Chains A and B, each alone.
Chain A
Amino acid sequence: MKADVLIAGGGIMGCATAIELARKGKSVIIFEKDVPGRHASGNNSGGVRCQGRDVREIPLAVEARKMWDHHASSVNSDCGFYVSPRLRLAESDAEMEVLEKRCAKLKSMGYDHEVMVDKEEVSRLSPNVTEHVVGGLACYTDGLANPMLTSKAYAAAAERQGVTILPHTRVIEAQTTSGGFRVKTSSGKEYEGEVLVNGTGAWAGRFSEMLGDPLPVFAAAPTMMVTDRLPGLMNGTSLGLTGRLLGLMAANNGTVIVGGGYRSPFDLEKEKIWVDPLQMCTASKIMIEILPKLKDAQMIRCWTAFEGHLKDKVPVVGESVKVPGLFHVCGFSAHGFQLAPMMGRVMSQVIMGREPELSLHDFRPDRFVEAK
């Protein structure tokens, strides 16, 4: 079978890319070894945030944020999105300086979505935050969405656009041919396409190696936790810290989703993750320090999923230098969910041979080779 574009990986990146390409008239096949949404895209914490993001990603993130308001028309589902301002707290004057620096940097780039707030505004936004917090950086437009709904809505939208999604189909071999690529799947079939997209998430390192363009993408298992319902406690404001690992998201049902860099041991081969309880304990300690009222709250569940990471914590997006026609969109390092709609747009532009509407220079696949 043939298509213009073959995509490995039916996560949100693969689907977003496919939707935009199909809208522009390309025929697309997606290979997904499990089902869309089984991994990072369907099981992340749903944070749609610009706050705290690497400044290199900000132009894309700001554009992506606008697209989150239009999912009802673009993918036929609001994806469960709602606004929950995100406030990054400074626990000392030194931390306040770090935030001020970031704010100034953003301003110089022409962005004003994050603003410095004083102690008074902190207590207005989040009345239960502890005394020692001195101020913070707020992003009033950040929000949360339902990752499984979103992943499924993206997959369904792709299919409505004519994209073929093959679930339970793993790409086991891929090679270049005179006209592009030939891939072989676990169902024993072969497919040909002019372009091949690597949207394989945590498996992207391995996948790129198979094609002779190895990327230093490594797998990790970010670990999240959730509390029972604590109406009013967060006042609808999500929190982050500046000097310590912690992210607290205020879900609109009253639960608090906890994350911020905790990870668990795993076996990628067997696709197994063992939730490390130490992570829960460490997070609990910090949580109680920041919101003392959390002491009697209950931790009701932990969860985790595989995600592809890069050392410099920004993704690889664009065409391979070594293997022309191979396009990577991977290594989102636990913050790709928010960017997804925009990734579909820029990926479709570069695949169609156009200049992307925003520079992808910081995300070029060969940046690691240069660095050596």
Chain B
Amino acid sequence: MKTRYDAIVIGAGPAGLACSAEMAARGLEVALLDEQANPGGQIYRNISKASPKQHAILGEDYSAGMELISVFKEAPVEYFPQTRVWQAEPNGDVFFSRNGGSTKVSGDYLVLSTGAMERPVPFPGWTLPGVMTCGGMSNLFKDSSLSPIEPVVLAGSGPLLWLVAEHLFALEAPVAAILDTTPQTQIFPAFKHMPRALRRFGFLLKGVKMIAEVQITALKRKVPIYRGVKDLCAEGRDRLERVQATRGKKELSFEATTLLVSEGIIPNTSLLRQVGCAHTWDPVQRFWHPDVTVDGRTNLPAVFVAGDGNFVHGAKAAEFKGRLTALTIALEMHRISRTEYLELSAPVRRQLDRELFPRPFIDAMYAPRKDLYSLADETIVCRCEGVTAGRIRALVEEGYADHNEIKAMIRCGMGPCQGRMCSSAVFELIAGHSNIPPREIRQHRLRPPIKPVSLGELANANIGGPDES
């Protein structure tokens, strides 16, 4: 590995792959750093090693990634898998651990394409072994063809819930129930976005078809599907034994050893916030996303953001955003002329626009429901430090409205995950119990290392420069 590149891309999902390949094609020296063992990110996870059976189950949306991978493999990008980036700086310095040591590499440009993550939502029992996210299940299958052989319940709201249900049915997994928590009235605010969404009729139809097929299979296999489900609760002594919930006045209870939850996808902003990108609050989907232009620019001149890290738009959009970002950087580095830039970027922009037509509809349809964070006092919010909703709420009611202060006082967000799992919930507790509008609430601050690094790795560091202190 060299110590300096024209551009360093972090994250080898569709955005990072497309971006690094495009930049390399324009003559830039590019390094791509990623935590996983193989390229593909979350959506195309392990795709280059996946078996025909995995491809068959995961379907054409997964296999579509093959083309991207093959273009990437042809491109002269220096690719570094199993590389954990734990700090990045606005000047283009990137610090990471790999093979038991830590190193620094610098780029004239940084592209952060660290993707999205599932919205972590606390509920009673969510810390029990056996409770995991739909995406987590999907990863297990992509990595090692694992799927549950004992009763499994799916609960949540959004397309991922149905997608994973479809896969589990195909795998003949013993699905005990599907609990859709989307409020049934949510379709109304979504309606106004319908005309625009219909411009991608095929795409919508595909989604509707998928859900319909899951319902038909469920009917055939006598798997109950409940809509408008509330009060989800995981129970068990040392691990999950039972899933409980309510549907109107009816109480639901299912024996299960696995509960898969999904409450939507939010941008993974850890690295973005650590490096200092400015963020904006999205009032519909209720998350913070970085301020990014369509060509990937942020408030920091050397830092670009591409893919779902900037807004959750899905794999295809991420790929287009990656390419646009690449072209912008190539233009800035004078590797292409302005005319070439316009010529090359116009069709990508058009494709991206098309890709985005249905998003406002989907975002409104699957917006986090109002009571998503109406947490009972005893529910644990910070898993690392065991801090309950009640303790956080009590401080907010006393007048504390800064997660950073609340964290320093009662430790929520102070553990190894650095608030990754609790900051959405703490934020909603602050928003819900103070009079401060969400966009004015001080955001949780992230300090390096954004992922734990072993002292051994740090001690074996080779990052140059004398110690000045």
Contact = CB atoms under 8 A, between A and B. Distances in A.
B405 A281 contact: no
Given A42-B405, A281-B461, 20 more contacts: A35-B405, A37-B405, A146-B409, A148-B405, A148-B408, A149-B408, A262-B469, A277-B461, A277-B463, A281-B459, A282-B467, A284-B456, A285-B458, A285-B459, A288-B455, A298-B455, A300-B415, A300-B418, A301-B447, A303-B447
Contacts of A112: none
Contact of A275 (B405, B448, B465): B448
A62 interface: no
B89 interface: yes
B258 interface: no
B182 interface: no
Contact of B449 (A148, A285, A300): A300
Contacts of A302: 447-449
A245 B469 contact: yes
A43 B408 contact: yes
A287 interface: yes
Contacts of B461: 277, 281, 284
A301 B95 CA distance: 14
B87 interface: yes
Contacts of A111: none
Contact of A295 (B89, B454, B468, B469): B454
A295 B447 CA distance: 22
Contact of A284 (B87, B418, B459, B465): B459
A297 B467 CA distance: 23
Nearest to A286: B459
B243 to A, nearest CB: 31
B contact face: mostly helix, strand, loop, or mixed: loop
| Centre residue among A146, A281, A282 by max chain B CB count within 10 A | A281
Contacts of A262: 469
Contacts of B402: 35
A295 B458 CA distance: 9
Contacts of B102: 277, 281
15 contacts: A274-B89, A275-B447, A275-B448, A276-B468, A277-B95, A279-B467, A284-B456, A284-B458, A285-B459, A287-B459, A288-B455, A288-B459, A297-B454, A299-B453, A300-B418
A282 B458 CA distance: 8
Interface in B398-437: 402, 405, 408-409, 411, 414-416, 418
B105 to A, nearest CB: 12
A298 B451 CA distance: 9
Nearest to A149: B409
Nearest to A287: B455
**Minimum-distance CB pairs A-B, first 8:** A148-B408, A298-B452, A284-B458, A281-B461, A284-B459, A284-B455, A295-B456, A285-B459
B104 interface: yes
Question: Which of A148, A227, A278, A304 has most chain B Cβ within 10 Å?
Answer: A278
Nearest to A224: B447
B469 A261 contact: yes
Which of B276, B402, B449: most chain A Cβ within 10 A? B449
A278 B463 contact: yes
Contacts of A298: 416, 452-455
B416 A300 contact: yes
Contact of B458 (A253, A261, A280): A280
Contacts of A288: 455-456, 459
B448 A277 contact: yes
A280 B456 CA distance: 11
A143 interface: no
B455 A228 contact: no
Contacts of B448: 275, 277, 280, 301-302
Interface string A17-52: 000000000000000000101000011000000000
Interface string B95-130: 100000010100000000000000000000000000
A294 interface: yes
Contacts of A37: 405, 408
A370 interface: no
A355 B461 CA distance: 54
Contacts of B468: 263, 276
A297 B455 contact: yes
Contacts of A276: 468
B309 to A, nearest CB: 21
A148 B469 CA distance: 26
Contacts of B89: 274
Contacts of A147: 408
Nearest to B402: A35
B455 A227 contact: yes
Contacts of B411: 253
A261 B448 CA distance: 18
B156 to A, nearest CB: 29
Interface in A250-302: 253, 261-263, 272, 274-282, 284-285, 287-288, 294-302
A152 interface: yes
Nearest to A281: B461
A281 B458 CA distance: 5
A103 to B, nearest CB: 27
Nearest to A223: B469
Contacts of B95: 277
Contacts of A42: 405, 408
Contacts of B456: 284, 288, 295-296
Nearest to A256: B455
A44 to B, nearest CB: 10
A143 to B, nearest CB: 18
A331 B452 CA distance: 34
B469 A263 contact: yes
Interface string A127-160: 0000000000000000000111100100000000
A227 to B, nearest CB: 7
A337 to B, nearest CB: 13
B408 A299 contact: no
A296 B452 CA distance: 11
A245 B276 CA distance: 29
A148 B89 CA distance: 28
Nearest to A280: B458
B166 to A, nearest CB: 38
Contacts of B469: 245, 261-263, 279
Interface in B80-102: 87, 89, 95, 102
Contacts of A295: 454-456, 459
A82 to B, nearest CB: 15
A28 to B, nearest CB: 21
A164 to B, nearest CB: 16
Contacts of A253: 411
Interface in A289-328: 294-304
Nearest to A42: B408
B458 A228 contact: no
A148 B409 contact: yes
A304 B469 CA distance: 14
